[in-house]
Structure 1
Amino acid sequence: MFRRVAFAVAAMAAGLVAGPAQAKPPLEAFGDMPEIRAVELSPDGQRVAYILREGDIDILVVHDFTTNTGKGLGRVNEIRARNVQFVGNDHVVLIASKDTRTFGYSGRFEFSAALAFNLKTGRTTQLLRNTEGIHPAQSGLGRIVGIDPAGQYVLMPAYMKAASETSLDLLRVPLESGRGLKVVGARGSTATIDWVVDSAGQAVARSDFNERSGVHQIRTRTDGGDWRVVYEEKSPLPAIGLIGMAADGKSLIVVDARESEFMSLYSMSLTTGEISPPLMQRTDAEVAGVVTGPNRVVYGVRYSGMFPSYEMFDPAIDAAINGVQNSLATSAVYLDSWSDDWSKMLFFVEGGQNAERYLVYDRKTNVLTRISSARPKITEADVGEVVVIEYKARDGLKIPGLLTWPAGVPEAERKNLPLVVMPHGGPEAYDAVGFDWMAQFLANEGYAVLQPNFRGSGGFGELFAKAGYGEWGRKMQDDITDGAAALARMGWADPARTCIVGWSYGGYAALAGGALTPDTYKCVASVAGVSNLRDMLNDARARYGPRSRSFIYWQFLIGDVDKDRDAIDAVSPARLAERFKAPVLLIHGDADTTVPIKQSNIMDEALRKAKKTVRYVRIDGDDHGLLENESRRLVLTELAKFLKEHIGQ
């Protein structure tokens, strides 16, 4: 049994301690970004670094457990803070990004960068900024693939200019100068997409994908020798994913789903490329994440499922993680980071009656300590109960999903409720038990919320995911429609008070619901949704290239943009505007680099031309995720008003 203690992070984080309970949380309690996020435990386990949100300003903070004090290292207000990482105990690297346009390329791109903070001197250095020969038009300068155990430098891939071609090389970047230095034997090619280093920081493997030939190769070298190809396949979408190194340093770790319906973990010989029998594999879940150290040494895996589960190579660590999860059995418990000796582990907990909180487990004392809540204005009583459900689609396929009950509604009164159907984005993602800020806001407004994991979702095996290929607006949409019908048959939902709301792919599904099943929903809301599939595919081809993995993947999902024109248009909501009966709400950020805002422009124009009821809210300066507090508050305000008008409250 674990002993649990409450612990309030002091200094700058003192405001994170929850205040008195309120009758109903304010809208901003759900809409605002979490007050803390991207929490990282230091290698010695004595400190945590995290991003603190104050208004629309992010602050990088380090909290010292030994002195119970926190210190702000820097304010981030013109770029978006994405993640933090300790490099040794005395440096913290902040990964940040900004979307912008670049000369010679169409559309907007997300450009990332890495900033190193010296905790002793207070000095800040942008990594790779003054590196000679670096290609100026590249978006991924915030990626670290290895670190110096002494904490003096990091290893980062970057595209370098050369006389004949641009290559993705591996650079050694001292944290104090930030200037990238070439690593002997670590020059890649135009086809290189990834690097793996050993514990000494030497490049031992790289992954190449040639878009012209469709050939994927894994190259390795040992003892500083020559590079050799140990694995090769010709496929538009590589089957094997290069993850990192085995703990013994003698083999690579890869994931592959070809031998099983579910993604599994294997080792690959550094010298021959021989692939082992599965190291970690289940028949009911796939490897959804891999637990790796800073040099990508693999310690274990996280499996998919409505609740996360782990399997670790070290039995003692495996038992410790399972013990923490068992002590919080109604919540989703994620391993976030750990000390070098694994004596302390940081967990992120959500779902059940938890909004979002962080806990540290000390294996030596067997104490589980709460360090902070990310949403302190939301109490347990404010969280709507989330239950796992399953229903059958019209063709008999079992569809898993989540149902969030309205907060505070007793079980005896959970019938004939107004329903919001909320399909997820991706679409090859899935909704699991957790704290969904939008679903929980709607539950606090009195709505039941259905989140169906329709065919084509990830997390349930290759067969389930590929069952969605070519089924946008068809069987995938049927699965969503059938979910609403199932809840009505159970007596839980009122079919006369049902709306559909979605974001990204979910926004497409919402619009498709309004066009293809116009009598099912009383209102339709799309946030950053796709409306014209052929237009989106053509944009992807122009943006990434006709042989790019991105464009090829989207054609697998939707169809061939040239050969399947009629079939694609038949499920494009913007081309079906005449069929809509329900009023439509469109919301989109004009800096969206994932789904361009013109997708909502097209939908708005088509609906107005067809004389349908539509409200269009354009959000200035925000991207696909709408990460500004003001943007999310606006989304919830508009949704609340829209839903109340059309299906009550």
Structure 2
Amino acid sequence: MRSIYLRITQPVIKLMLALTWSLASLQAAQAGETPIPVEKFFKSAQFKDAQLSPNAELIAFLAADNDNRSMLVIMNSKGDATPTVITRYSNLDVIFFHWVNNERLVYGISEKDLGAGEKNSGSGLFAIDKDGKNSRQLIDRFVKAGAPKFRLLPARTRFISTTGNESSDDIYVGQNSTERMNAGINLFRLNTRTGQTEIVAVPPHSIDFLFDPSGQVRIATASKNGITSVHYKENKNTEWVQLYQFDDTVEDGYSPVFIGTSGQFYVTARNGKDTAALYQYDTKSKSLIPNPLLALNGFDFDGDILFDNQQNKLAGIRYETDAHASVWFDEKDKKIQSQIDALLPNMVNLVDKGRSQDANVRLVKSFSDTHPGNYSLFNVDTSKLTQLGVVNPDIDPAKMAYRDSVRYKARDGLEIPAYITLPKGRPAKNLPLIVMVHGGPFLRGGHWNWTPAVQFLASRGYAVIEPDFRGSTGYGKKLHQAGWKQWGLAMQDDLADAREWAIKQGYADPKRVCIAGASYGGYAVLMGLIKEPDLYRCGISWVGVSDINLLYDVSWSDTAGNAWTKYGMPKLIGDQQKDAEQLQRTSPLQQASRLKNPLILAYGGADVRVPLIHGTKFYDAVKAHNSKVEWIVYPEEAHGWGLLKNNVDFWTRVEKFLDENTAVK
């Protein structure tokens, strides 16, 4: 198989649009146009999740009706017929769906007008034919005592995957085992017409699965006592065989990506390198095939296999560096991608042809840093592109700010990736700056896409820098491991160094810098104001951790008592006993008396990831000596704001708060 090694030293998407700002746009900004209303940034998607049927003859998607309720709609892929609503609710929303085969779909429902703490039911699962007939409920929405309804699975059951078999009405569903520690998923095969289920034998403590294109489960990933193991099944009549196991906080394991019908198994692996690449794994010899299929300079591989089921071979690879992109192996597919990219320049264009390799239509999902996204149909025969729908029609991309990928050196020489967004229509010099800190923190924070909060802040004249500080994933092992046990220490220094970089570039006014973030980002805001109060005029912390020990001790947290608390947190954040002194020293709660700067402190009353006690304890400790703390609680929200009214309220408060605190005095 052909091996591709990509060396990417410049952004995948050339953001040359930054050089084409019109004089009219600049003059309008300087003239003080009315700001874009805050609600336009945070309203729910009006069109989303378009999916081709397996034979590529139909398209299904979610669209908002006149009451802003999300409904499931189908139309033919020629785009020459009126779309048909196959299911809608007057007081509920369809929140996800999947094609089961060419005739049938499954979907789940919820009520997006309720906060997480107000909901007393799950999404359930329902099946329906493409013409809206033969509807059947498969999973209950309500947790209740007593015997379940006939062939209705309990609410704790969730959708896992379709089979991919066009002649099958089956799907896979799972139920989490009742164990708190080392919990796994019990897997079932469910018929969407009869409601009958069949238990699927999987290794104990399995938490993830790969299904081949014929619909058979072939790979199972299990986790027990902090050790990850990956298991392989040759076919439905053979036993599971362990391929490998590893402790991912110590060893470089292999992460499953895709398995083909003939057992072509693809994984990500470091293989002695800093960044993880895409490899093929030989299940017979239980070894990695040495040459990578795709390696990315400065980035771990993160993407999808595009597989040609008819020819049983790799058709292409979708991946992300500083932006998403695709590589195709067939000349026809390469040509189609280039035609679409020419029609939709300066956009990421993700092309889907369904499972039918000979289909003459392609579904295209497009987005950019200035565009929330749209869906289009490309006719291969005519080279014509027809728009299907826009994710957020209230957003004018011409008025949005550009987002560039950059890298800066931390004080110890470590290279830190970041995204910088500069407000549209004004000189990029001496701007008020927001250091935006992502949550996690052990994940990738920045992506080249349209982000409501960042664009809102940019629309109000703020530059925003989003560092993927040490500890972040996606950029190699060195950056990730450099953040272990560095909460409030070197991780915090990286944020200060991002501020310094923006000032040296001339973008930021050193007297008008604020720090903002949620979850871990909220923790970093509190520590930043405590540790380096002269660097930041103010802080905005929401759903933030206020004390590392509370992450261990609060019993009603959704992470309390599980494997992450026992095996992950001691290695990555700090051990309560061995690192007790450090955890005290890097606890905002223990040093609350040092925080003097203006602060927004906001929490969700129904949050079980960072429970409200993180906020109440810190607010009680800080308010006696700091009258410049704005305390906000949204009782119905969980770990972040899901409701439009609360987003509008919060970001309106943020706008006023920043206006008051970033003027030079």
TM-score tier after normalising by the smaller chain length: 0.7 to 0.9
Q: 2:506 aligns with which of 491, 499, 523?
A: 491
- The aligned counterpart of 2:384 is 367
Return the letter of the residue paired with 2:188.
L
TM-score normalised by structure 1 residue count: 0.84
Instruction: Name the CA distance, whole Å, in 2 between partners of 1:576 and 1:513.
Output: 12
Instruction: Name the CA distance, whole Å, in 2 between partners of 1:498 and 1:603.
Output: 23
3-state SS of 1:144 partner: strand
Instruction: Name the CA distance, whole Å, in 1 between partners of 2:248 and 2:603.
Output: 35
Instruction: Quote how far apart the aligned CAs of 1:47 are.
Output: 3.2
- CA distance 1:504–1:33, shift in 2 (3 Å): farther
**Is the CA contact (8 Å cut-off) linking 1:386 and 1:433 kept in structure 2?**
yes
Q: 1:566 aligns with which of 571, 574, 581?
A: 581
Return the letter of the residue paired with 1:472.
W
- The aligned counterpart of 2:327 is 311
Instruction: Name the CA distance, whole Å, in 2 between partners of 1:98 and 1:273.
Output: 47
Return the letter of the residue paired with 1:218.
H
1:530 has 2:542 as partner: no
- The aligned counterpart of 1:290 is 304
- The aligned counterpart of 1:388 is 405
Return the letter of the residue paired with 1:548.
A
Instruction: Name the CA distance, whole Å, in 2 between partners of 1:256 and 1:544.
Output: 28
- CA distance 1:113–1:311, shift in 2 (3 Å): farther
**Is the CA contact (8 Å cut-off) linking 2:488 and 2:586 kept in structure 1?**
yes
Instruction: Quote how far apart the aligned CAs of 1:585 are.
Output: 0.7
1:58 has 2:73 as partner: no
- The aligned counterpart of 1:210 is 224
Unaligned runs of 5+ in 1: 1-21, 101-107
3-state SS of 1:287 partner: coil
- CA distance 1:220–1:355, shift in 2 (3 Å): closer
- The aligned counterpart of 2:393 is 376
Instruction: Name the CA distance, whole Å, in 2 between partners of 1:477 and 1:76.
Output: 47
- The aligned counterpart of 2:629 is 614
Instruction: Name the CA distance, whole Å, in 2 between partners of 1:47 and 1:23.
Output: 42
Instruction: Quote how far apart the aligned CAs of 1:223 are.
Output: 6.0
3-state SS of 2:611 partner: coil
3-state SS of 1:418 partner: strand
Instruction: Name the CA distance, whole Å, in 2 between partners of 1:161 and 1:552.
Output: 19
User: Which range moves more in the overlay, 190-199 or 330-339?
Assistant: 330-339
Instruction: Name the CA distance, whole Å, in 1 between partners of 2:553 and 2:350.
Output: 38
Instruction: Quote how far apart the aligned CAs of 1:23 are.
Output: 5.2
- The aligned counterpart of 1:115 is 126
Instruction: Name the CA distance, whole Å, in 1 between partners of 2:295 and 2:204.
Output: 34
Instruction: Quote how far apart the aligned CAs of 1:481 are.
Output: 1.1
- CA distance 1:135–1:593, shift in 2 (3 Å): farther
3-state SS of 2:411 partner: coil
Return the letter of the residue paired with 1:332.
V
Instruction: Name the CA distance, whole Å, in 1 between partners of 2:602 and 2:487.
Output: 21
1:48 has 2:59 as partner: yes
1:85 has 2:102 as partner: no
Instruction: Quote how far apart the aligned CAs of 1:152 are.
Output: 1.4
Return the letter of the residue paired with 1:229.
Q
**Is the CA contact (8 Å cut-off) linking 2:557 and 2:611 kept in structure 1?**
no
- The aligned counterpart of 2:461 is 446
Instruction: Quote how far apart the aligned CAs of 1:441 are.
Output: 0.8
Instruction: Name the CA distance, whole Å, in 2 between partners of 1:230 and 1:362.
Output: 43
Q: Deviations over 1:45-78 (max 9, x none)?
A: 3433223346664323334444432233444688
3-state SS of 2:288 partner: coil
Q: How does 1:622-637 map to 2 (within 5 A)?
A: 622-637=637-652
Q: 2:569 aligns with which of 518, 542, 554?
A: 554
Instruction: Name the CA distance, whole Å, in 2 between partners of 1:597 and 1:71.
Output: 44
**Is the CA contact (8 Å cut-off) linking 1:30 and 1:441 kept in structure 2?**
yes
Return the letter of the residue paired with 1:143.
I
Q: Deviations over 1:368-401 (max 9, x none)?
A: 3332221211213320122333322212222222
1:269 has 2:285 as partner: no
3-state SS of 2:484 partner: coil
- The aligned counterpart of 1:126 is 137
Q: 1:34 aligns with which of 25, 34, 45?
A: 45
Instruction: Name the CA distance, whole Å, in 2 between partners of 1:87 and 1:158.
Output: 20
- CA distance 1:386–1:150, shift in 2 (3 Å): same
- The aligned counterpart of 1:194 is 208
TM-score normalised by structure 2 residue count: 0.82
Instruction: Quote how far apart the aligned CAs of 1:535 are.
Output: 0.7
Q: How does 1:312-351 map to 2 (within 5 A)?
A: 312=328, 314=330, 316-318=332-334, 320-321=336-337, 324-325=340-341, 328=344, 330-335=346-351, 338=354, 340-341=356-357, 343-351=360-368
- The aligned counterpart of 1:402 is 419
Q: How does 1:112-191 map to 2 (within 5 A)?
A: 113-129=124-140, 138=156, 141-144=158-161, 146-159=163-176, 168-182=185-199, 186-191=200-205
Instruction: Name the CA distance, whole Å, in 2 between partners of 1:507 and 1:271.
Output: 48
Instruction: Name the CA distance, whole Å, in 2 between partners of 1:634 and 1:268.
Output: 51
Instruction: Quote how far apart the aligned CAs of 1:159 are.
Output: 4.9
Instruction: Quote how far apart the aligned CAs of 1:634 are.
Output: 1.8
Q: 2:83 aligns with which of 70, 77, 80?
A: 70
Instruction: Name the CA distance, whole Å, in 2 between partners of 1:600 and 1:170.
Output: 38
**Is the CA contact (8 Å cut-off) linking 1:532 and 1:602 kept in structure 2?**
no
1:457 has 2:472 as partner: yes
Instruction: Quote how far apart the aligned CAs of 1:82 are.
Output: 4.5
Instruction: Quote how far apart the aligned CAs of 1:87 are.
Output: 1.8
3-state SS of 1:470 partner: coil
Instruction: Name the CA distance, whole Å, in 1 between partners of 2:383 and 2:187.
Output: 41
Q: Deviations over 1:399-421 (max 9, x none)?
A: 22222222322xxx321111122
- CA distance 1:473–1:171, shift in 2 (3 Å): same
Instruction: Name the CA distance, whole Å, in 1 between partners of 2:627 and 2:74.
Output: 53
Return the letter of the residue paired with 1:204.
R
3-state SS of 2:287 partner: coil
1:220 has 2:233 as partner: yes
Q: Deviations over 1:20-48 (max 9, x none)?
A: xx954321110212222222222233433
- The aligned counterpart of 2:25 is none
Q: 2:437 aligns with which of 401, 423, 426?
A: 423
Instruction: Quote how far apart the aligned CAs of 1:601 are.
Output: 2.4
Q: Deviations over 1:416-469 (max 9, x none)?
A: 111122122222213122111111111111211112222222221121122111
The percentage of counterpart residues that share the same residue type is 25
Instruction: Name the CA distance, whole Å, in 2 between partners of 1:211 and 1:144.
Output: 27
- CA distance 1:133–1:474, shift in 2 (3 Å): farther
Instruction: Name the CA distance, whole Å, in 1 between partners of 2:381 and 2:149.
Output: 44
**Is the CA contact (8 Å cut-off) linking 1:470 and 1:556 kept in structure 2?**
yes
Instruction: Quote how far apart the aligned CAs of 1:226 are.
Output: 2.9
3-state SS of 2:372 partner: strand
Q: What RMSD in Å do the two structures reach over aligned CA positions?
A: 3.6
Instruction: Quote how far apart the aligned CAs of 1:169 are.
Output: 3.9
- CA distance 1:215–1:588, shift in 2 (3 Å): closer
Return the letter of the residue paired with 1:124.
S
Instruction: Name the CA distance, whole Å, in 2 between partners of 1:160 and 1:579.
Output: 45
1:254 has 2:267 as partner: yes
Instruction: Name the CA distance, whole Å, in 1 between partners of 2:565 and 2:183.
Output: 20
Return the letter of the residue paired with 2:404.
V
- CA distance 1:33–1:540, shift in 2 (3 Å): farther
Q: Deviations over 1:305-361 (max 9, x none)?
A: 221122345554355446544664533344567453264333332225423222333
**Is the CA contact (8 Å cut-off) linking 1:92 and 1:118 kept in structure 2?**
yes
**Is the CA contact (8 Å cut-off) linking 2:553 and 2:560 kept in structure 1?**
no
Instruction: Name the CA distance, whole Å, in 2 between partners of 1:315 and 1:625.
Output: 45
Instruction: Name the CA distance, whole Å, in 1 between partners of 2:184 and 2:414.
Output: 46
Alignment size in residue pairs: 612
